[in-house]
Amino acid sequence: MSRLVSRSEVDRMGKRGSYRLGGLGPLGPGPGRPSRPFRPSFVRPEHPGTTVGWILAAVIGAVMIAGGSVLGLWFMPFVVGLATGLAMRWGGWRLRVSVPAVVIMAAAGWGLALWVPALRGLPLGATARTIAVTAGLPAITVLAFCAALAVSVALGLAGLWLGRALTPRPARD
Amino acid sequence: MVPGRRRWRRVRQVSNGVVAAFVAAAILLLCGAGYAGLPALGPLLDPAHGAWASASGGQLPESQVLSLPGLTSTALVSFDANGIATINAASRPDAMAALGYLHARFRLTQMDLQRRLAEGRLAQLVGPAAVSSDEFELRLGLLRTARREWAAMPRTGAAATMLAAYARGVNDYLAQLHASGDWPALYSVAGVYPARWTPVDSLAVQGDLAQELDYTTSPLDYALLVRSLGIRRTMRWFPVVPGGTQRTYDPGPYKAQGIAPVTGVSTTAAPGRGSAGAAGGQPSGGQHPAGTGRQSPAAIALQSWAGTAGQLSAGVAGQASAAVARSAVTVLAVTSALPPGQVARDTAPGQVAGQTAAGSAWAANGPRVAGRGSILAGTAPLAGTVPSAWFQVAISAPRYDVTGISLPGLPGVVLGHNQHIAWSLSHAQDQSTLFYAERTSRARPGQYFWRGRWRAMRLVRYAIPVRGGQTRHLAVDLTVHGPVLTDAGQAISVDWTGSTGSPDIAALARIGAAASFTQFRAALAGWRSPAQTFVYADDRGNIGAIAAGDYPIVRHGAPWLPLPGTGADDVAGAIPFAALPQSYDPPGHVIATAGQRPVTAAYPYYIGTTASDLDPAGWASNQYAVLGRRSGLQPAGFAALQARSADQIAARLVPRLLAALHRATLTPAERQAAGVLRGWNHVLDAQSAAAAIWSTFWPDYLSATFGPWWKAAAVPVQPDPAGLAFSAGQFGLVQALEHWTLADPSNPAFTPPGGPARTAASVMRVAFGAAVARLHALLGGAPSSWTWGRLRGTTTASLPRVPVLGASATAVGPTAVGPTAASTVTASTVAAGTVAAGPVTAGAGAGAPWTVAAGYTLPAGTANQGWRMIVWLPAASGRQGIEAEGIYPGGQSEDPASPWYDNLIARWASGGYLPMPPVGATALGRIRWELRP
């Protein structure tokens, strides 16, 4: 495809600093390739393992959080978040995927731990209302559930941040 | 990369690491340990533990075998479909251990709150908001009394073995909770957990019950009224003996029988309460020298209830000096700020007569009862809450076959029936609280003047742990009379009968095993507090009543005012048991008690003033009248009487009101309102227009009569509105106004100070006009369209009565006009037997961060009774013939998530009953626990 020479380029001819080797053309690093539509990349090209493997790892993380709750390890979302933060450097995961992953793992983990007793017939809804009222909140069932999931997510994200901070990206020379 | 950029990048990485570590540490700390009152959110909201674990308490129990190390042999507990439990045990201690386990399983929070309240440890759980309550309780000394009582109790006696076994049962459940972590939500949220239960805790709970029913501040109210209204007017308007014609259950003749010594433990400074009579040099130990004051009972009585103003001396007036009044204000401000129900506050304005927290009980026999047996009906003391303060249970053990209600925290059944007798309780008129103005001197700190010389006060120090705050320290001075409540202006100490303890556990155990009135009466001989009227019926067709308790008699002075503390006015002793108000098989075949004065003016002992007469409306008199006209009564007839909420004052005064309006010039609205009243049956029905008019007129009438006097005298109402303001809750004023309206319509009280002469009729016309105008403004429309239910609902409060626990907003519910909240139980839902609405959350959004449970708003006119019971004992029937039914609001469980939290409220609110488990029954229900040692 022929390229049109703009009027401004013609005007610059003969003036100081206007000559370049080669033909007339725009300033800058030469002709670029046609722009592509933005497609976010969730992993760096060099990441190890398969995507399925990573999803499986996330499921295991959620189960670990749920299991930790059963064992009384309330801080397990933090541990899983921390592990994710440490692994994301090695795995080449970007923040835009590791944050949602930790949020989902933390919420699903504690959500699972809440769901199982409900399946056994425990009155979780009424208990949630009692907890809310006891804590001085309005007697709305969903409040206690949201509070629980929010704590889990906060713990997970704090762990993620710390894990990421502990494994800084090496500087490129 | 250039070195500068690399360095900058390194700095950024380190900074990021530091900030990330700091944030992570902060979140972990917040979640793990909490901060500034915020609980540790991690353990709290951990799904498998923390507060969520309390969900297990919301499940119905399952049949299972449980291991209870506190037992000596296997016991069986069964539950019927409504959750009512039956215990079968091989011994009474094992039955008490099972009861302790059962109470803890279903009412742990209630029990723990009660003991914390009594022992001044509420702030440890609740936080700074409860410090004032803790200070009050530690000052009053329920804990001191409980400790002394337990220390003095023979370990092999019935009471000690019951208390110890009960504590073992409670602790067995606490051990299970420690293992499972399934604590009630309150503890998970607060991060503070119940300590092991001890017999002292049970005795403290017993003291708390005595305080709720018996501790009053009326002498301090009297002091302020005397200071403002003058002594003559005060004693006319708040007389010792009411001017009306209340029906007593002990009409006499009476015989003065001397004064009995005051027994019990001493927690005061030496020489101890009741030893003021130690004129003979008797040592203390709480034992009063036998007998006999220096004055005859008649002389003491004459001094004590010289209720006519003309006989009052200047010395008596001096009992209400300016310094005493200043101190009274201080003490009253503290007491009136306590949560409703923590001390005896009598009734709230507007409560339905005869259905108050005072309880009521009546019995009939002979021709009044079908089968010529006896029937006993009772509503227990303590107002209705959700769940009820009481816990229904049947216990079967050797020499203890009882069914009835127990109080979580205490071993045994408080009222109910066994195979031969039935009994119930109601308020007994008794001034259990005396206040003393101690003589102190700035030159002699820590000393007081008593019996001619200066004596050292006993100093007791307490530390009050506060959740989310610093530990507070409290020093309490004790004189020979009791703890010093204030030294602001004038040191005031309190001498309360509850401070000597009372062998209630042993007495109730003996009552449970009694088979005759003689045994029943003997069991009550040592009962000291709270003073209660025990009403009795048996399967031989006998009925009876005894106002058991410690009725202090002072040597000198007017005990309804603060007394000088220098010794001359000390307690000389108590009314002998044989001389207490009592009745047995009266000729009218009816005994009715509702907190009324039980004796006539001829009774030779002082038992309090109209301030402690809780039946101003004459509800008991009405029962006498109604039952006296009937014969062949069966439980259904008693049930109708128990549910009936007719206003007796209205029944007597409405005709006078209509007569007063007859010749008056009335507006059209007033004419219509008078017409509505004309056809009224005096029943306070939610749909009644007449009830709306009357319930607005009556306080207006009180206000129109007494308001000008209060204003002119500048009565200081603020320190204690319940005791100082003119209201329908002021029983002295209520009785006085009713009496004047009926018998003395030209009484000078109707004429305001400096105003034109008025009569009862003219004041009624003014009050009626004001009431109709107010109702018209509030409700609009024609008077016939007004309904009482739009003015007032009855709210059954949540059980915890600490404001921060959500009770303050629910004492007696909404007085606002207009439709009530969506969660209000409507008349139709109650009538249909279904309560669709959920609990009214009390306090949430009203600055009550520790609201635990919820109350229910019920239709206006619903009797707020904490327990209703009817027992029919056909003559010589044996246990199979006894028919007993009872009910309370809520259910067995305190857990709002449990189906047994509110399963009985609809039936209760609609006036229904449930059959009580029969005595001696074994494993009635399908859910069974086998408790193995």
Spatial strand order of the sheet with B840-841 comes to B385-386, B794-798, B854-858, B840-841
Per-residue pLDDT of B864-893, as tens digits, reads 678 999 999 987 654 458 899 999 888 899
pLDDT of residue B225: 93
B52 shares contact with chain A (CB less than 8 Å): yes
> Where does the pLDDT of residue A154 fall: very low under 50, low under 70, confident under 90, or very high at 90 and above?
very high
Quick one: closest CA in B to A118, which residue? B55
- Chain B window 644-663: which residues touch A at a Cβ cutoff of 8 Å? none
Per-residue pLDDT of B243-300, as tens digits, reads 766 789 999 899 999 999 888 777 777 654 444 333 332 222 332 223 333 443 334 4
pLDDT greater than 50 at residue B305 = no
B15 shares contact with chain A (CB less than 8 Å): no
Cβ of A113 within 8 Å of Cβ of B47? The answer is: yes
B768 close to B670: Cβ distance less than 8 angstroms: yes
Half-sphere exposure of B258 toward its Cβ, with a 13 Å CA cutoff? 9
- Give the span between the Cα atoms of B219 and B328, in whole angstroms: 9
Q: Give backbone dihedrals phi and psi of B885, rounded to 5 degrees, phi first.
A: -140, 150
Give the position of tokens 């209509």.
B658
- Nearest CA to B560 out of B737, B303, B356, B333 is that of B303
Quick one: closest CA in A to B15, which residue? A165
- For B262, the 3-state DSSP assignment is coil
H or E element in which residue B484 lies: strand B484-486
- Give the span between the Cα atoms of B398 and B79, in whole angstroms: 21
Q: Report which DSSP code applies to B241.
A: S
Cβ of B16 within 8 Å of Cβ of A165? The answer is: yes
B875 close to B372: Cβ distance less than 8 angstroms: yes
CB atoms within 10 A of CB A33: 5
Per-residue pLDDT of B479-515, as tens digits, reads 999 999 997 878 999 999 999 999 999 999 999 999 9
Strand partners of residue B404: B393, B416
B524 close to B204: Cβ distance less than 8 angstroms: no
The whole-model pTM stands at 0.85
Cβ of B48 within 8 Å of Cβ of A72? The answer is: yes
Cβ of A127 within 8 Å of Cβ of B52? The answer is: yes
Quick one: closest CA in B to A147, which residue? B45
A64 shares contact with chain B (CB less than 8 Å): no
Per-residue pLDDT of B398-433, as tens digits, reads 989 999 999 999 999 999 999 999 999 998 989 999
- Nearest CA to B89 out of B295, B531, B395, B469 is that of B395
B216 close to B343: Cβ distance less than 8 angstroms: yes
Q: What angle do CA B425, B501, B158 make, to 5 degrees?
A: 80
Q: What angle do CA B637, B639, B642 make, to 5 degrees?
A: 115
Give the position of tokens 């009512």.
B84
**What is the CA B639 to chain-centroid distance, rounded?**
23
Higher confidence at residue B752 or residue B356?
B752
Kindly state the average pLDDT of the residues B184-211.
93
B546 close to B458: Cβ distance less than 8 angstroms: no
Per-residue pLDDT of B919-928, as tens digits, reads 887 767 889 9
pLDDT of residue B1: 53
H or E element in which residue B916 lies: none
- Helix, strand and coil content of chain A, in percent to the nearest 5, comes to 60, 0, 40
- Chain B window 223-242: which residues touch A at a Cβ cutoff of 8 Å? none
Higher confidence at residue B61 or residue A34?
B61
Look at strands B447-450 and B571-574 and give their pairing.
Answer: unpaired
Most B-contacting residue of A130, A140, A167, A172 (CB-CB within 10 A), to test interface: A130
Reduce the secondary structure of B391-430 to three states and give it as a string.
EEEEEEECCEEEEEEECCCCCCCCEEECCCEEEEEEECCC
Q: What proportion of chain A, given as a percentage, has pLDDT over 70?
A: 70
- Nearest CA to B479 out of B453, B502, B459 is that of B459
- Chain B window 833-852: which residues touch A at a Cβ cutoff of 8 Å? 839, 841, 844-845, 848-852
User: Residue B132 is encoded by which pair of tokens?
Assistant: 């004032």
B328 close to B220: Cβ distance less than 8 angstroms: yes
Kindly state the average pLDDT of the residues B175-199.
91
CA distances from B32 to A83, B23, B41, B42, B108 (A): 20, 14, 7, 6, 26
Quick one: closest CA in A to B9, which residue? A171
Which chain B residues contact residue A165 at CB under 8 A?
13, 16-17, 19-21
Omega before B598 cis (within 30°)? no
Which residues have C-beta within 8 Å of that of residue B230, sequence separation ≥ 6? B713
Q: What proportion of chain B, given as a percentage, has pLDDT over 70?
A: 83
In Å, how far is B531's CA from the nearest CA of chain A?
36
> Where does the pLDDT of residue B302 fall: very low under 50, low under 70, confident under 90, or very high at 90 and above?
very low
- Give the span between the Cα atoms of B683 and B677, in whole angstroms: 11
- Give the span between the Cα atoms of B391 and B893, in whole angstroms: 9
Q: What proportion of chain B, given as a percentage, has pLDDT over 90?
A: 55
Per-residue pLDDT of B815-828, as tens digits, reads 222 222 222 232 33
ipTM of the complex model = 0.75
B884 close to B413: Cβ distance less than 8 angstroms: no
pLDDT of residue B270: 64
pLDDT greater than 60 at residue B470 = yes
CB atoms within 10 A of CB B473: 9
**What's the whole-number average pLDDT of chain B?**
83
Kindly state the average pLDDT of the residues B440-454.
93
Cβ of A122 within 8 Å of Cβ of B21? The answer is: no
User: Residue B409 is encoded by which pair of tokens?
Assistant: 């925290």
- Chain A window 118-137: which residues touch B at a Cβ cutoff of 8 Å? 121-124, 126-127, 129-131, 133-137
End-to-end C-alpha distance for chain A, whole angstroms: 38
Cβ of B1 within 8 Å of Cβ of A155? The answer is: no
pLDDT of residue A75: 95
Which chain A residues contact residue B809 at CB under 8 A?
none
B855 close to A139: Cβ distance less than 8 angstroms: no
User: Residue B158 is encoded by which pair of tokens?
Assistant: 């019935």
Which residues have C-beta within 8 Å of that of residue A93, sequence separation ≥ 6? A42, A43, A44, A47, A54, A87, A101
Which chain A residues contact residue B9 at CB under 8 A?
171
CB atoms within 10 A of CB A72: 14
Quick one: closest CA in A to B897, which residue? A126
- Give the span between the Cα atoms of B10 and B22, in whole angstroms: 18
> Where does the pLDDT of residue A50 fall: very low under 50, low under 70, confident under 90, or very high at 90 and above?
confident
Helix (DSSP H) and strand (DSSP E) numbers for chain B: 26, 31
**What is the CA A5 to chain-centroid distance, rounded?**
46
